[in-house]
Amino acid sequence: MFISSAFAQSAPAATGGDLQSTLMSMLPLVLMFVVLYFVMIRPQMKKQKEHKAMIDALAKGDEVVTVGGMLGKVSKMGDSHIGLEVSNGVEVQVQRSAVVQVLPKGSIK
């Protein structure tokens, strides 16, 4: 009475537009990846490249800031560690990658 009969519908005939509809459905996904690349991935790669160049250019006597905020002057150089003089006679060993910024000479008094 209230339920009407359900009839199976026949599938539409296959046309050449299936490939086009598939490509159009993938277009938003591709566009999202392109935007993600230019907004997030590319700037991060550029930042890593600049940090590596800064780490490689470190020299004895440079005044630096570490990740933890410690200021000091580079006193010893190693392959993966540097000696950081934070005060007269006080030297701390830190990893090279912990250096965040190289300060201009004379910044630390």
The CA distance from 63 to 93, in Å, is 14
pLDDT band at 8 (very low <50, low <70, confident <90, very high): low
Q: How much is the pTM?
A: 0.69
The model's pLDDT over 68-93, given as tens digits with 9 standing for 90+, comes to: 999 999 999 999 999 999 999 999 99
The CA distance from 73 to 61, in Å, is 6
Whether the Cβ atoms of residue 106 and residue 71 lie closer than 8 Å to each other:
no
Q: Where are the domains of the chain?
A: 17-57, 60-103
Contacts for 26-33 with beta carbons within 8 Å, 24 or more apart? Answer: none
In the numeric block, which tokens belong to residue 93?
């060993």
- Residue 6 pLDDT exceeds 80: no
- Domain 60-103, second-level architecture: Roll (2.30)
Q: Which DSSP state fits 9?
A: P
